[in-house]
Every structure is written in C-alpha cells, then in structure tokens.
Amino acid sequence: MFWKSTRLAVAAAAVLSIATACAAATGGRVYVRTGPPPVVVERRVVAPGPGFVWLPGYYRWAGRQYAWVPGRYERARSHGKYVPGRWAHNRHGWYFVDGRWR
C-alpha cells in the first residue's frame, strides 16, 4: 500500500512539473520560461489603400512552443498610433504585452 501511494505521488509530481515547466499563469498573464526566437523579417506587400497601417508580426505562445503570427495591414484609427506587441521579462519569466492603439 505504501509503494502504491508513493508511486502515485511521484507520478503526480512529475505531471505537475512537466505542465508548469514551459509556462505558468500568474495574475492573468502566461509566463514562459524561454524567450521567444528572433523576430521573422517579413516582406510587406503594398497597402490595400490609403489610411492603412502595417501591424508587424509577433510570436505567440501556443502551449508548447512559440508560433509566428504574420503581420497585416489594418485601417488606422483616427488620431491614433499603433504600439506593437512585445515580449517582456521579469522574475517569473517571459510574458507578452499586447499591441495597442494609443
């Protein structure tokens, strides 16, 4: 009986450590232990028309690895400037700060 419960505890600890090894959530943020790869250099196509702004691509965390989200054009907001999203780092790990209009 002792060995069964010990094996169960060890297995549960292993699963828990694997689940939290790559990412952890704290306060609504998802933290990733490894930083993102270098940004992909994208070739911009011609804007679809006047008043469009290029929003650069970025890496998102896909649960086990980073996945590239390609850049795109979006109609500019009146009197607004787009601030691209970025990865930031603190003592918990890497987290993504969403792009926004300001």
Q: What is the pLDDT of residue 80?
A: 82
β-strand 93-97 against 100-101: which pairing, if any? unpaired
pTM assigned to the model:
0.70
Decide: helix, strand or coil at residue 53: strand
- Taking the C-alpha atoms of residue 65 and residue 60, their distance in angstroms, rounded to an integer, is 9
Residue 58 burial (10 A CB sphere; 0-12, 13-18, 19+) = buried
Q: What is the pLDDT of residue 28?
A: 84
What is the full per-residue pLDDT of the chain (102 aa) written as tens digits?
555 555 544 444 443 333 444 566 667 899 999 999 999 999 999 999 999 999 999 999 999 999 999 999 999 987 789 999 999 999 999 999 999 998
